[in-house]
Amino acid sequence: MDEAAIRQRIDKWLFFARIVKSRSLAQKLVRDGHVRLNGSRVIRPSVDVGDGDKLVVALERRDVHVIVRAAGTRRGPFAEAQTLYEDISPPPEARAKLNAFEQAQRVPGSGRPTKKERRDLSKLRGD
């Protein structure tokens, strides 16, 4: 069997490619339906992936879009893991940058009550 035809379990591949921290987390991610293989949702961790397959993994903070380039043999260093896939994820959305003055502003009515607001509350309660 040549190198290009090798297929591997999806949970094992996600672990070897360092997309997730452990194989059990990879299995849970797949079972919960957060992984798409070539556009269709995968719910079995035993599904095989091979060269050229497109994966979309919905992680907690972002979606990772990758094309599988090779099957892994071990969970090696990050540089080795990067050879297993081609990352085609869209760039993250730019967040609005606030300057220091805008960060220091409070929404009216948030935070502690002023002295006048405390007096009004006491009068309302009958204290």
Residue 105 belongs to a domain: no
pLDDT (tens digit, 9 = 90+) per residue, 63-121?
999 999 999 999 999 999 999 999 999 988 776 788 888 877 878 778 888 899 999 99
Instruction: List residues bridging with 35 in a β-sheet.
Output: 42, 57
| pLDDT at res. 112 | 85
Range of the domain at 58: 3-87
Residue 106 belongs to a domain: no
Residue 44 belongs to a domain: yes
Provide, rounded to the nearest whole percent, the portion of the chain with pLDDT above 90.
71
The CATH number covering residue 14 comes to 3.10.290.10
Q: How many domains does the chain have?
A: 1
State the Cα angle at 40 between 37 and 44, rounded to 5°.
70
pTM of the model: 0.71
Residue 102 belongs to a domain: no
Residue 116 belongs to a domain: no
Looking at every residue in the chain, the average pLDDT score rounds to: 91
Long-range contacts of 88-91 (CB under 8 A, 24+ apart): 89/62, 89/63, 89/64, 89/65, 90/65
Residue 65 belongs to a domain: yes
